[in-house]
Amino acid sequence: MAFVKSNQKRHSLTVFEYGLISASDKANIVAHVQKISCQAFEYLKKICLSDEVDSAYLKLKVAHGMEVLQMQNYAGVIICPDGTQIEVLPKIAKVDAKTDNAEEARLSLLMMLKTLKRFRHIETEVASIKKQKMPLLEVFIAQFLRSVNLLVKKGIKNDYIREQNNSAFLKGKLLHSHQLKHNFVNRHRFYVEYDAYQADQPANRLIRSALQAVSKWAVVSKNKKLVQELSFAFEAVPFSCDYHSDFSAIKLHRGMQHYDVPLKWARLILEGFSPQSMTGRHDAYSLLFPMEAVFESFVAKYLAKHVPKSAELTSQVQRESLVSYGARQYFRLKPDLYLKSPGETATIMDTKWKLIDQSKSSGSDKFGLSQSDFYQMLGYGYKYLNSEGLLILIYPRTESFNAPLEHYFSYDTEHKLRLKVVPFDVRPNCHERIAFNELGFI
């Protein structure tokens, strides 16, 4: 993998979902358009237009009389070959010049990421995140370094490795055939086989390689200092030549539990373990998360802890299809959440990472709701509920949508199949994220 050279000048910026970036001189003058270097813009533009790379997180367009790239509904980090670091945060509030929403959005993202299977090791209560207002990349680096620092304090694991060597000293087992072959004349040397106790093992090689990678990205002085100290502790360990093979070879046996979190971070750093990564051939690195999937996971984890114990909550049910053709089933229907309580009709819930406005209730605005979402819910209600029961659409809570919409949406005159639209609070320090008492299913 090729990384940004440490002597390159870095430019960092924070952009929200659907924010605009441009290399034009008019950027920064125009509201909500941020300026980046020409090299970074051309690189991202090339990625956006490429057929070889999934560029769903970027959209090329013309706005305000200039060529711009618009971020889509992804959040995370992008590092360009020229050293430009772009932090993309979820848009959970109105973004304006007077209000800095970055800190809250960053903490919300970290909290939601924690519910993803591969990111449960992320810590969200670290004081330095709030105090230093570190960008997302530096937060990831700081948490990785903290885990490695704890590992070093508990002890770097050494192991016995079988080695063969033509040594000046007799140790271990003398290999007679090799001795005759190599030392028939040089009788002062000994061709031996022995067990060497050393730190050269896959886990240590991977951690050292990850330390090398973050040393080229870190900007915060505390992180830069700590990565130097930890690199010195692993100085006797060679770098990994094959990440995949080394990860496959790792077995965390008894006495190596303190390696678990550092290795999870190392995998994240070295392999870009996210739905959208562009490590390797593109001479850059990205770690981007589709907010639709992150929000869905967060809601599912929260509801699983708060629904009654007698109820059964299932994620991603795919029991039904929209139509059948002969013996084949076409267009699988997969609601995000299926809630079934004993003796009661099931409830279907679906999450949507979209901002709606409860004040825009006119026929043309329709609160910003999507007709296609309502058709999708109708399909769920018809197939899973036999056209009778409750459907719930869950959107992120914002200032413009902070309570369930007043009325149900009915799909029939008898109000047998009804749909409720409710907000879900993703702020970091929120106690009740969804208004259970107003939903009617608990």
- DSSP letters for 277-328: ---STTS-EEEEEEHHHHHHHHHHHHHHHHS-TTSEEEES---EEEEEETTE
**What is the spatial distance between Cα 271 and Cα 252, in angstroms, rounded to a whole number?**
19
Q: How much is the pTM? A: 0.81
Q: Who contacts 429 (Cβ-Cβ below 8 Å, separation ≥6)?
A: none
- Which residues of the chain form CATH 3.40.1350? 307-438
User: Which pLDDT value is given to residue 262?
Assistant: 92
> From CA 66, how far away is CA 24, in angstroms rounded?
7
**Strand 389-396, strand 417-424: pairing:** parallel
Count the alpha carbons within 13 Å of 112 in the hemisphere toward its beta carbon.
30
Residue ranges of E strands in 168-260: 173-174, 190-198
The DSSP string of 241-259 is S-HHHHHHH----TT-GGG
User: Angle at Cα 198 formed by Cα 195 and Cα 200, nearest 5°?
Assistant: 110
**What pLDDT is stored for residue 182 in this prediction?**
78
Q: How many C-alpha atoms does 143 have within 13 Å on its Cβ side?
A: 24
* pLDDT value of position 390: 93
Supply the pLDDT for residue 38: 93
User: Which residues, 6 or more positions from 326, have their beta carbon under 8 angstroms from its beta carbon?
Assistant: none
Q: Which residue has the tokens 């001189």?
A: 25
What was the pLDDT predicted at 442?
Answer: 53
Residue 88's SS3 state is strand
d(CA 213, CA 31) in angstroms, rounded, equals 35
Beta bridge partners, 350, equal: 393
Q: Which token pair is 34?
A: 């941020």
What class, spelled out in words, does domain 307-438 have in CATH?
A: alpha beta
Of the candidates 156, 139, 17, which has an alpha carbon nearest to the alpha carbon of residue 75?
17
- How does DSSP classify residue 413? T
Q: What is the dihedral of CA 222, 226, 227, 230, to 10 degrees?
A: 180
| Spatial distance between the Cα atoms of 84 and 81, rounded to a whole number of angstroms | 7
Answer whether 101's CB lies under 8 Å from 92's CB: yes
Cβ proximity of 194 and 251 under 8 Å: no
Counting DSSP H helices and E strands in the chain, the numbers are 11, 19
Query: What is the helix (H) or strand (E) element at residue 62, kind and residue range?
Result: strand 58-63
Q: Which residues of 294-320 are buried (b: 16+ CB within 10 A; e: fewer)?
A: bbbbbbbebbeeebeeebebebebeeb
As a whole number of angstroms, the distance between CA 238 and CA 206 comes to 9
Q: Block means of pLDDT (10 residues each) for the chain, length 442 residues?
A: 43 90 86 89 88 76 91 90 90 60 87 84 64 78 92 82 70 73 75 70 92 90 93 91 90 84 89 53 70 93 88 88 91 93 87 92 88 95 93 93 92 92 90 75 54
Query: Could you give the count of Cα atoms lying within 13 Å of 110 in the half-sphere of its Cβ?
Result: 25
Confidence at residue 82, expressed as pLDDT on a 0 to 100 scale: 86
